Structure 1
Amino acid sequence: MAPNDASLGEAAELIAGAGAVLVCAGAGMGVDSGLPDFRGDEGFWNAYPPYERLGIRFAELADPRHFADDPELAWGFYGHRLDLYRKTVPHEGFRILRGWGESKPGGAPVFTSNVDGQFGEAGFGMVAEVHGSIHHLQCVVPCGPHIWPATDLDVAVDHETMRATGPLPRCPRCGNLARPNILMFGDGDWIPHRTDEQLHALNEWRREHRDLVVIELGAGKAVPTVRRYAELASAATGALIRVNPREPEIRHGRGVSLPHGALETLAALDARLKAG
């Protein structure tokens, strides 16, 4: 990104003049931390070659029916991801965003479709995980509204077959199989109250902080949840900064488009802000 990029300067001015920062993040935010890009079948299969050999696509695998039909297959995928996310260190861009929030009276809460827990690991206080979290579990049935942390869970996975090989987690209430508290494709059994509480808190925050700038990072059009929320939150002011190397377009020109990766853009913006 060129230091004299006019759009970069415009984005920096929006951040400098705002009373609060709202971070809206999709999967692209985690790529600079080394997390796999599931965009399209090729991206998914590059990350998980065994599934390419089996001809299984991400949308097929992220289906809750597998927990009933083939729990070893289901927990092979989610157990591997849980271990991966636990070992992943949030990249420097997370620290930059948190620093901007700490410099604002309104702070920097987060709205994200990511289930990896990276924002919590990076120290953000208010995080709304709209698709749930892999670090929390629920009953497959479900037998009730109970959600509990996956803190002590360790699922053994055969990396050749990507199937779970050890004991699978169980619901402490009824003894049935447990699953991640994640909203999957065609999921009628997801328990949403943890996410609902987070969203309620974030929406209350938005009512109290109208002078915000929205920084959207790595949110694509395929599942447009994050993009729509970012556009809604910035509708009154047009103070939207969309950071996306593949789909940077902004409808009706209501905001600033930065067609680059998350980390390089945040670093360039931070340098511009520090330079004044």
Structure 2
Amino acid sequence: MLSSQTENNGLGPSAIDSEIVPLKLFLEKNLKACQLTVILVQCVQSTLYTAPHRSAMESDLEKAWRVAAEKLAAADFLLIATGAGFSADSSLPVYADIAKVDAYKLMDVEYQDLCDPYMLEQDEEVFYGFWGSCTNSYRDTKHHPGYHILRKWRDAKCGTNSGNNPDEKRSSFRAAFDRLNACDALPSGVTADSVTDGPFFVYTSNVDSHFRRDFDCKEVYELHGGVEMWQCAGDVETGAREPCEKIWKLPADFRFELDVATMRAPGAEATTCPECGGKGRPNVLMFHDRQWIANTAEENGYIAWESVMEVMLQEDPTLNLVVLEIGCGTRVPSVRRETEMVVADVIEGCGRPQATLIRVNPDIPTCDNPLILANDCFVPIRSRGLEALEGIDQELTKLLQKAKAGNR
């Protein structure tokens, strides 16, 4: 149809080109103008809407930091609870990302497969490669400044500048400890020397052992264990042979000979059970784990500290507890459950809102406990851990400066 029409109009190919080319240039020019207009409109929208929205978010964060700082400043006891999100600020992977490695994709294995004692029987080098990669990485990684902020807060709570005589507070703690111990209300085996008498404790599901770099071992409970301590694997396949009881620490200068391309590593003398000569494994609670040797001494120390702290709160209505939870998700919800239970127990046991849960999480800073919410004892902070700690610390500094100015 086109050819017959052009013939009737008396237009040849060259004549058609001479008409089309200018039209094409005109359309291209105007198309670019339209695209530029769209970009300008988007920029204006970003300025008008996105900036105020971002400012509102920042102001909400600052408000949450200030509220958290006020709670911390008034706290007599401070329980820190951390999960994988806290270690992520040291550039360590969270559980969802730890197995996102090409070698594991080729093997068609995921985190749940690797973090399983049965992998030691299925493929020993893959097992030691996974835990060797974790251990080497944890040891090489410098922990983020948030640890030092927490250490500063701990020292402030334990020191003479805490507003009370630290010796008097320790004496009160010991008295409550002795009363509970006398009526067998504490775990068997705990002694006054095995439990911290300070107002600070760390409860963590992280296995990197980074808290042990800055804090006393009596004030840290790694509820899932840590890669620095190893144990006998026993008979993983059938469970017919229990692991030897001895737990040992990896030498400080030991490194796994990891092939990064294949994520495999051989066993070594340091990972061999010194009692039976069998295979060793990290003293870490894994999936489907029936052979893990729990650190009962650490657990009992935490239980005793928490029990004494709750009694002191019940006996003195002026005392307060703050539970600061950082980076704990729902994939491994044990820490979230524990922090809510501790705060709820204090509220119920005291009959007063003497405890506050501050939950720092960039995705799910929510609380499921109705008792905590009903008593207005919950402070949500939607941010990463280090960002929140730095923001709260700045607000604490402002409060301290304001208090000093008022005392002049």
Could you say whether these structures have the same fold, taking a TM-score greater than 0.5 normalized by the shorter chain as the test? yes
* 3-state secondary structure, aligned to 1:213: strand
Identity %: 35
* 3-state secondary structure, aligned to 1:189: coil
Q: Give TM-score scaled by structure 2 length.
A: 0.63
- Give the direction of change, closer, same or farther, for the CA distance of 1:45–1:170 in structure 2 (3 Å limit): closer
- Residue 18 of structure 1 is aligned with which of 61, 75, 88? 75
Q: Give TM-score scaled by structure 1 length.
A: 0.92
Query: Is the 2:82–2:206 Cα contact (8 Å) retained in structure 1?
Result: yes
What are the within-5 Å matches in structure 2 for residues 44-55 of structure 1?
A: 44-46=98-100, 48-55=101-108
Query: Is the 2:157–2:199 Cα contact (8 Å) retained in structure 1?
Result: yes
* 3-state secondary structure, aligned to 1:104: helix
Counterpart amino acid of residue 98 in structure 2:
F
Counterpart amino acid of residue 2 in structure 1:
E
Larger of the two Rg values belongs to structure: 2
Deviation at 1:44, TM superposition (A): 3.2
- Residue 109 of structure 1 is aligned with which of 201, 211, 227? 201
Query: Is the 2:128–2:267 Cα contact (8 Å) retained in structure 1?
Result: no
- Residue 123 of structure 1 is aligned with which of 215, 221, 238? 215
- Residue 363 of structure 2 is aligned with which of 246, 267, 271? 246
Deviation at 1:151, TM superposition (A): 2.1
Whether 2:129 is the aligned partner of 1:72: answer no
In 2, the alpha carbon distance for the partners of 1:129 and 1:151 equals 20
* 3-state secondary structure, aligned to 1:256: strand
* 3-state secondary structure, aligned to 2:58: coil
Task: Say which structure is richer in strand.
Answer: 1
In 1, the alpha carbon distance for the partners of 2:275 and 2:58 equals 57
Q: CA RMSD in A?
A: 1.7
- Give the direction of change, closer, same or farther, for the CA distance of 1:219–1:124 in structure 2 (3 Å limit): farther
- 2:90 counterpart residue number: 33
In 2, the alpha carbon distance for the partners of 1:140 and 1:165 equals 16
In 2, the alpha carbon distance for the partners of 1:88 and 1:61 equals 21
Larger mean CA deviation between 248-257 and 71-80 belongs to 248-257
Query: Is the 1:109–1:124 Cα contact (8 Å) retained in structure 2?
Result: no
In 2, the alpha carbon distance for the partners of 1:148 and 1:165 equals 19
- 2:382 counterpart residue number: 259
In 1, the alpha carbon distance for the partners of 2:202 and 2:231 equals 23
Deviations 1:164-220 (A, max 9, x none): 14636211100001110000000000011x2x2112111211223243210000001
What are the within-5 Å matches in structure 2 for residues 1-276 of structure 1?
A: 2=58, 5-39=62-96, 43-46=97-100, 48-105=101-158, 106-125=198-217, 126-141=219-234, 142-152=242-252, 153-165=254-266, 167=268, 169-192=271-294, 194=295, 196-209=296-309, 210=313, 211-235=320-344, 236=347, 237-251=354-368, 252=370, 253=373, 254-276=377-399
Query: Is the 1:20–1:108 Cα contact (8 Å) retained in structure 2?
Result: yes
Query: Is the 2:103–2:262 Cα contact (8 Å) retained in structure 1?
Result: yes
Deviation at 1:8, TM superposition (A): 2.1
* 3-state secondary structure, aligned to 2:262: coil
Query: Is the 1:76–1:157 Cα contact (8 Å) retained in structure 2?
Result: yes
* 3-state secondary structure, aligned to 1:86: helix
Task: Say which structure is richer in helix.
Answer: 2
In 1, the alpha carbon distance for the partners of 2:328 and 2:215 equals 21
- Give the direction of change, closer, same or farther, for the CA distance of 1:45–1:75 in structure 2 (3 Å limit): closer
Deviations 1:120-143 (A, max 9, x none): 123354110100111011011044
Query: Is the 1:98–1:108 Cα contact (8 Å) retained in structure 2?
Result: no
Deviations 1:244-268 (A, max 9, x none): 0011111233410001000000000
In 1, the alpha carbon distance for the partners of 2:301 and 2:267 equals 38
Higher relative contact order (CA 8 A, sep 6+): 1
Number of residue pairs the alignment of both structures matches: 270
Counterpart amino acid of residue 104 in structure 1:
K
In 1, the alpha carbon distance for the partners of 2:257 and 2:397 equals 46
Deviations 1:218-273 (A, max 9, x none): 00112111001111121123400000001111123341000100000000000000
